[in-house]
Amino acid sequence: MIDRNHILLLQAPTPGPQNRIVAKPSAIPPLGLGYIASFLLNDGFEVRISDMDVEDVNVRELQQILESFSPIVVGISTTTLTFKNGLRVAKTVKHFLPTCIVCLGGPHVTVNYHEALNYPFVDIVVRGEGEITFLELCRAAAKENKLPLNIEGTAVRSKDEIITLPRRARIINLDALPFPARHLMPLHLYNIPGTILTSRGCPSNCGFCAGPVVMERKYIARSAKNVIAEVQMCIDKFRITSFYFVDDTMTHDTQRLMDICDGLRQIKIPPSITRNLKWTCESRADAVTPEILQDMRSAGCTTIQFGMESGSQQLLDQLGKKITLKQIENAVIWSREAGISPVLSMVFPHPNETEKTLQETFNFIRRLYEIGAEKIIPSLLTLFPGTRFMDQREKLGIKLLTNDTEEYNLGTPILTTRYLDLNSIANGYSQLLMLTQNLGGNEIGGIGIDDEQNNFSHP
């Protein structure tokens, strides 16, 4: 029997054993589900979170959760890579608990909600930020014991019709959000349990980035005081002293960053914890100075990641990255001088990539390692729904070779470009992996997909 006060939140598992080998060590707590859960808890709901990846939840275990907890709403968070598994989970939920409401959320279904709602076991999709929308959904479901058709920020199937409600406006006052419900997450299963989001949205316009799909390009930040309060809470309650600030660009607002650093230097770690505070973040090469990096280091920053993207200035300009190779070099040098390990990420191929620009990138990678780069992480260009490159692929000369989202893992070639065929892209990526590994980097991204799909039947 359904319990109208019970809400279950699930993180859909990564498909394929090789993908999971890569995904599990780098998995981080699902902060999005944590924020939604804290909203629900504050409203009087009883909530459970299950990260099906790190917990290795199979069909039988999911059945046991559903039968013992009997949620009225099950929310499933998916990405493009996990979309099909999200559907398999939804189908399984409906099989064992047919009267509950099944909701999907995340960047993929924010764009492709029609695709999700074509399946009879998906009732409703939350588009964009989920806290307020999902809370209103759960309130309505609990009160009326039926699928609500009028919740702003959703798309819902009613009989044979899909009803698309307007997108909900972004949350402006992030300080008003309760901290994520970390006590509902299996923090001990994560290599990086101390994740904190201090801002939402990115003002940049990189053509391959799916970030603006959910958050658009509007940058909204929490106050330094609010961020420090969360850090202190994580130390006091969970004994976490190592943090990863998961913002797209932690250094976007320099004054706020300096205020956060001031607060971090004043953090109190109980004597029973013999570890020092340390943290890592992501930034842009044009958003740091020697002084900023030195201030960050004095506040505990040990590693910073920059989006390098390419070693060709021509490609960087075409990407709209608005950075120069010299700025990337300076960011690496200044980070090293400040005592911070610089890590760089890059994408291959770009729409106008050629053998010449790839050679320029090889040479630039060697240069960056010479001046102190800790690691360079190459990923294959992957066209995610809603990105500029996906929308403009024909104009850019990009041809998608598969619609199987379970190959959208940043390590499987799934496209060709105007100047490079599939074989050239595969060979180029292999050379990038070998070069970065030999000089100090580690390979990421799945290189193959197995047909066995984590014990979930196909939808």
3-state secondary structure the chain: CCEEEEEEEEECCCCCHHHHHHHHHHCCCCHHHHHHHHHHHHCCCEEEEEECCCCCCCHHHHHHHHHHHCEEEEEEECCCCCHHHHHHHHHHHHHHCCCCEEEEECHHHHHCHHHHHCCCCCCEEECCCCHHHHHHHHHHHHHHCCCCCCCCCEEEEECCEEEECCCCCCCCCHHHCCCCCHHHCCHHHCCCCCEECCEECCCCCCCCCCHHHHHCCCCEECCHHHHHHHHHHHHHHHCCCEEEECCCCCCCCHHHHHHHHHHHHCCCCCCCCCCCCEEEEEECHHHCCHHHHHHHHHCCEEEEEEEEECCCHHHHHHHCCCCCHHHHHHHHHHHHHHCCEEEEEEEECCCCCCHHHHHHHHHHHHHHHHCCCCEEEEEECCCCCCCHHHHCHHHHCCEECCCCHHHCCCCCCCEECCCCCHHHHHHHHHHHHHHHHHHCCCCCCCCCCCCCCCCCCCC
Mean pLDDT of 155-168: 92
Picking from 87, 281, 262, 77, the residue whose alpha carbon sits closest to that of residue 180 is 77
Q: Which CATH number fits domain 3-164: 3.40.50.300, 1.10.10.10, 3.40.50.280, 3.40.50.1820?
A: 3.40.50.280
pLDDT at 22: 65
Give the model confidence (pLDDT) of 132-145 as tens digits.
999 999 999 999 98
Q: pLDDT by residue (tens digit) across 368-383?
A: 999 999 999 999 999 9
Domain boundaries, the chain: 3-164, 194-439
pLDDT band per the 50, 70, 90 thresholds, residue 415: very high
pLDDT at 351 over 70: yes
* pLDDT per residue as tens digits for the range 215-262: 677 889 999 999 999 999 999 999 999 999 999 888 889 999 999 999
- Whether 437 has a pLDDT exceeding 60, the answer reads yes
| pLDDT tens sequence across 274-326 | 899 999 999 999 999 999 999 999 999 999 999 999 999 999 998 888 899 99
At 201, the pLDDT band (50, 70, 90 cuts) reads: confident
Average pLDDT of span 50-63: 93
Note the pLDDT tens digit of each residue in 388-398: 888 899 999 99
Q: What's the topology of domain 194-439?
A: TIM Barrel (3.20.20)
Residue 199 has pLDDT above 90, yes or no: yes
> Mean pLDDT throughout 64-68?
95
Instruction: Grade residue 131 by pLDDT with cuts at 50, 70 and 90.
Output: very high
Task: Tell the burial category of 117 from Cβ atoms under 10 Å away from its Cβ (0-12, 13-18, 19+).
Answer: buried
Please indicate whether the domains covering 3-164 and 194-439 agree at the CATH topology level: no
**Average pLDDT of the chain, as a whole number:** 90
pTM above 0.85, yes or no: yes
Lowest mean pLDDT among 45-49, 333-337, 385-389: 385-389
The sign of the CA dihedral 69, 71, 77, 78 is: positive
Q: Does pLDDT of 459 surpass 60? A: no
| pLDDT beyond 70 at 69 | yes
Residue 454 reports pLDDT greater than 70: no
- pLDDT of amino acid 305: 96
- For the segment 8-24, what is each residue's pLDDT rounded down to a tens digit? 999 999 987 656 666 66
Q: What pLDDT, on the 0 to 100 scale, is given for residue 376?
A: 96
